[in-house]
């Protein structure tokens, strides 16, 4: 029951509004980081595979 009271108090107070805004901003940043790292991870994997193939061919 303590968590529900804290959540209710946080969302009802001015401080709760700020906390909620920061939480949403943090969630947006995390989603953007995951997307960026996923895209870079695929590109990096392809580049490393090309380098390894060239080294093996020597």
List pLDDT tens digits, range 1-58.
688 887 777 777 776 677 888 889 999 999 999 999 888 888 889 999 999 999 998 7
Task: Please give the Cα distance from 19 to 27 (Å, whole number).
Answer: 12
Q: What is the pTM of this model?
A: 0.53
Stretch (H or E) spanning 44: helix 14-57
For 11, phi and psi rounded to 5 degrees? -75, -25
Cβ burial, residue 16 (10 Å; 0-12/13-18/19+) = middle
Q: What pLDDT score was predicted for residue 16? A: 63
Question: Treating both helix axes as pointing N-terminal to C-terminal, what angle do 2-12 and 14-57 enclose, rounded to 10 degrees?
Answer: 100
The full set of domain ranges for the chain reads: 22-58
Copy the structure tokens of residue 2.
């303590």
């Amino acid at each position: 029951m303590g968590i529900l009271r804290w959540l209710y108090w946080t969302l009802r107070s001015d401080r709760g509004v700020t906390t909620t805004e920061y939480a949403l901003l943090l969630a947006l940043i995390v989603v953007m980081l995951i997307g960026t790292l996923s895209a870079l991870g695929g590109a990096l994997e392809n580049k490393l595979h090309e380098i390894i193939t060239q080294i093996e061919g020597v």
